[in-house]
Structure 1
């Protein structure tokens, strides 16, 4: 990725920091953005503050970049919240961050990417392809993001490639809050065929691949980065074929 400029939204911590680090290690010039600066800066990256839900601010950010070869739409997330425990406006903000903000950034980056014959990598989620109780608005937004990427890949071809990483459970610095400490992380890890949660570096490596020349003929695709998915519950519930 030497000589290429990469923008990673939400690239200051967790999965985003892993992605930014992977591109920096691959030789790219990496710009990260978020509302707040990172507590621990990612080596080899430049940070720019921006609220991605503000289209004018996003256009100003992209307008200030001299060039852009790769856009990674990573910013997103949601708190755990049942549908009936919040009003429509709060759920709408989740959709805004996880679906409309990536669209806003992609549109602002279009001319840069067209000139560079560049690539967009959307960071999706397995929540977009299965029921997502407690984060239904997030799952719906991620489903929409994957569809957006496929449509964008057709409209913007052949100058710009657009793909999605469909990410499963990741062990970040906040994973213990989601899974109940080390015991919870270990229990959840046992449900993954590969026996562990992803590391941010795993997602970063996949993002670098999709943005690289090695993936020059891949667009409109969804790459699963989930360690094999989740072991079907019926296998453990069924009594047939179990050892006595």
Structure 2
């Protein structure tokens, strides 16, 4: 898929971006988009990836970091700032959760999900704050949230709760840190992030879900990357505290299927 804003004229030369979880899937797509527009990009993870995101002959730099560990995050952010001279953009992308029954899963499991999806963005945002405040133009934080934050999320209840908390954090930090630092969120819909594993239960289920969306397809990493690029750029200079929904028009409400089924009966 062609990058939607690959030639849109948004330029990020001289800016430094951190993308958590930037080695694969949506995070790698975001890293490539920012690289293509001129930014220096730092990514992090617990283990170094086999390949680093690259675009336009430029490559992301990797630092090892467990984003759930506040001390490790502080050290990582300071290392990036020292090596690259500044930090302008933070994309809190790392996250996710396997399906689990809320009634029976262990408290430790829930704590880990909250740590990755909510506490990690808090740690990262705190750590970049003083670096962004040094910049003449301040900085931009983009939190990658989910439709699970805005509708029921059975099977991933605590993930949904964490992402809902991330939306609340976005609004509060935007109010507290503005005007120097803008903070926004992207509410991500159903995305086929690539790789060997088929999303959403296999080919038939994936295709049926895609056909049910107003956009007629699942999202792609570049769709989320394009929204991230916009929110990170000067084009969004008056956008803060926003939750930008990137979900192809949203999921079809279940009650409409029930209405149609009973009307036919």
**TM superposition score category, shorter chain reference:** over 0.9
Is the counterpart of residue 221 in structure 1 residue 242 in structure 2? yes
Query: For 2:165, which of 144, 152, 173 is the aligned residue?
Result: 144
Query: For 1:34, which of 30, 45, 49 is the aligned residue?
Result: 45
Match in the other structure for 1:5: 16
Please state whether the residue corresponding to 1:95 is helix, strand or coil: helix
Distance 1:29 1:188 in 2: 36
> What's the offset of the Cα at 1:177?
4.3
> What's the offset of the Cα at 1:175?
7.8
Match in the other structure for 1:105: 124
1:119-138 C-alpha deviation (Å, 9 max, x unpaired): 00000000001110010010
Match in the other structure for 1:19: 30
Distance 1:235 1:61 in 2: 48
Distance 2:229 2:260 in 1: 44
Query: For 1:161, which of 165, 178, 182 is the aligned residue?
Result: 182
Please state whether the residue corresponding to 1:84 is helix, strand or coil: coil
Correspondence list, 1:64-213, <5 A: 64=79, 65=81, 66-116=85-135, 117-174=138-195, 176-213=197-234
**Equivalences, count:** 244
Q: CA 1:238–1:158 in 2, change beyond 3 Å: closer, same or farther?
A: same
Give the TM-score taking structure 1 as reference length. 0.95
Please state whether the residue corresponding to 2:193 is helix, strand or coil: coil
1:147-178 C-alpha deviation (Å, 9 max, x unpaired): 00100000001110000000011111258444
Aligned residues of 1:8 and 1:72 also touching (Cα < 8 A): yes
> What's the offset of the Cα at 1:182?
2.0
Aligned residues of 1:176 and 1:182 also touching (Cα < 8 A): no
Q: CA 1:237–1:11 in 2, change beyond 3 Å: closer, same or farther?
A: same
Q: Give the gaps of 5 or more residues in structure 2.
A: 1-11
Aligned residues of 1:5 and 1:28 also touching (Cα < 8 A): yes
Distance 1:183 1:161 in 2: 41
Distance 2:253 2:97 in 1: 25
Distance 1:183 1:85 in 2: 30
Structure 1 runs, 4 residues or longer, greater than 3 Å off: 174-178
Q: CA 1:83–1:131 in 2, change beyond 3 Å: closer, same or farther?
A: same
Aligned residues of 1:175 and 1:185 also touching (Cα < 8 A): no
Aligned alpha-carbon RMSD (Å): 1.8
Q: CA 1:239–1:78 in 2, change beyond 3 Å: closer, same or farther?
A: closer
